[in-house]
Amino acid sequence: MKVKKYIAGNMSEAMKQIRAELGDEAVILNSKVTHKRGFIGLFRKKQFEVIAAVDPESSVSQIKYKEKPLMKQNTGSHIVNVSEKEKLNDDLIQKEILDLKKMVRELSKSTATISLEHYPTFIQSFLIILEKQGLSQNYIQAVANHLLEKWRTSGKEPEQTDVWNWGRDYLESLLAPLYKRVAKSKKYINLVGPTGVGKTTTLAKMAANAVIDKQQKVGFITTDTYRIAAIEQLKTYANLLNVPVEVIYNMDDFHEALDKFNDFDLIFIDTAGRNYREMQYIDELKKVIDFRKEIKTYLTISLTMKEEDIKAILEGFSSIEVDHFIFTKLDETTSYGSMLNIMMDSQKGAAYLTFGQDVPDDIEEASPKMIVNHLFEGKSK
């Protein structure tokens, strides 16, 4: 691993030096503010001392040092973990609780699949699609019961189109209550979620629509100080949209940024992608962002993730109010059942769906009808 110290007049200059020499995958190990002695001890000039590293033989995801965030100021040459043993015990307890919840949830589910031969052929074909899409057996059974009741009370011999419409309408009716409880519009839009789900790109799409379509005054705040490339990506979008960016490192920075953006219409907050199944990262997030403010939090999830991993992440966020989901990478999968399962299990709606990298395109506001439509894309009625 190559480690080097940099000294610059400000953090931006230091980051440029690091990026030029070590590349985008460089990781900040530590930073602190120092003062250069001035004339006869007066007029001291503030400067930044930053230690950065890069491992040429390892991917970014394998570098353990990236777990330490960039710090604006530090009294020593390294960060000291005072209660490491206690914190480890707390983490183990939290993990055991999450594992127990998962076990109980799995035991409560029926492992038996529906016996399709008891249903008319048209109903069977509809249920088969739901099974292939990965919809939970509990919800498939509910759909099956509803369709059979509609079939029995129909005044005529039902056709496939009738069954199709009954089933789609019923699925929409399950999702509709989630959209009646949509919170009022808020000024601060916060995107959280694990690594690699496309939070920054999604945030840029939302901001672009606000700027271009609604002519709103928009600002960016980022807490993602773990990789230089992450900040540069957001700054690139900010330059294209002509909106300001504030990089924050702690709660004081967060409140200062809110003061600077006091007269703005919308503030979009980008957070670092972390393993949010671990409670320590949730705690870190709460030390940087004041969730007591007028903030709407979106949990950003890729549909390429395993459903059980998504549920574990959602359980990790139990101490933070998640308002809605944003499901990304719909173009990278053909299975959408998990999206409905997660929404109905948690009783939270999806605000947006994304399906590509183009900004400001490749994003759509979600609705029950649109979500159900994705289950049947490419299927004829």
- Looking at the structure, do residues 245 and 271 belong to the same domain, yes or no? yes
Q: 61 and 18 in one domain? A: yes
Please tell me whether residues 220 and 265 are part of one structural domain: yes
Q: What is the pTM of this model?
A: 0.69
Tell me whether residue 98 is in a domain.
no
Q: CB of 81 within 8 A of CB of 62?
A: no
Question: Does residue 157 lie within any of the structural domains?
Answer: yes
Predicted pLDDT at 15: 79
Residue 138 lies inside a defined structural domain of this protein = yes
Report if residue 36 sits inside a domain: yes
For residue 47, give both structure tokens: 């400067």
Contact between residue 139 and residue 175 where contact means Cβ atoms under 8 Å apart: no
Tell me whether the omega of the peptide bond preceding residue 360 falls within 30 degrees of 0, making it cis: yes
- Domain shared by 165 and 146, yes or no: yes
Name the token pair of 215.
């002519």
Asked, for residue 99, whether it belongs to a domain, the answer is no
pLDDT of residue 55: 61
- Rounded CA-CA distance 183/380 in Å is 36
User: Which residue(s) pair with 192 in the sheet?
Assistant: 299
pLDDT tens by residue, the chain, 381 residues:
677 888 887 777 777 888 888 887 777 766 777 766 554 444 456 777 777 777 655 443 332 333 334 334 444 444 445 455 555 666 666 665 565 555 545 544 444 466 777 889 999 999 999 999 999 999 999 999 999 999 999 888 899 999 999 999 999 999 999 987 655 578 999 999 888 899 999 999 999 999 999 999 999 999 887 666 778 888 899 999 999 999 999 999 999 999 999 999 999 999 887 766 667 777 888 888 988 778 999 999 999 999 998 998 888 888 888 899 999 999 999 999 999 999 999 999 999 999 988 888 899 999 999 999 998 874 433
Of 180, 208, 230, the position where a domain reaches its end is: 180
Query: 325 with 298: CB under 8 angstroms?
Result: yes
CATH of the domain at 315: 3.40.50.300
Task: Using alpha carbons only, give the angle 173, 350, 215 rounded to the nearest 5 degrees.
Answer: 120
Query: What is the enclosing helix (H) or strand (E) of 350?
Result: strand 350-354
Domain's final residue, options 134, 163, 180: 180
Structural domain contains residue 94: no
202 and 131 both lie in a single domain = no
135 neighbors 174 (Cβ within 8 angstroms): no
Shared domain for 194 and 338, answered yes or no, is yes
Q: What is the pLDDT of residue 76?
A: 43
Q: Are residues 144 and 286 in the same domain?
A: no
Residues 55, 164 within the same domain: no
324 is a domain residue: yes
Residues 203 and 342 in one domain: yes
CB-based contact 353:330 (threshold 8 Å): yes
Is 366 domain-assigned?
A: yes
CB 133 within 8 A of CB 372: no
- Phi and psi at 185, nearest 5°, equal -60, 135
Q: What is the dihedral of CA 307, 308, 312, 313, to 10 degrees?
A: -20
Give yes or no: residues 271 and 332 share one domain: yes
Residues 176 and 223 in one domain: no
User: CA-to-CA distance for 322 and 316, rounded, in angstroms?
Assistant: 11
The answer on 176 and 200 residing in a single domain is: no
Enumerate residues 6+ apart whose C-beta is below 8 A from 27.
52, 53, 54, 60, 63, 65, 66, 226, 227
Please tell me the predicted confidence (pLDDT) of residue 182.
54
Domain count of the chain? 3
Please give the residue range of the domain that contains residue 170. 116-180
Residue tagged 């965030």 (tokens): 69
End-of-domain residue from the set 133, 153, 180: 180
Cβ neighbours, 10 Å, residue 355: 18
The three state secondary structure string of 104-115 is HHHHHCCCCCCC
Alpha helices by DSSP H, listed for the chain, are 11-22, 84-108, 121-132, 137-153, 160-180, 199-212, 228-241, 251-260, 279-288, 307-316, 337-346, 368-375
Residue 45, CA distances (Å) to 33, 34, 168, 181, 251 in order: 10, 8, 67, 54, 25
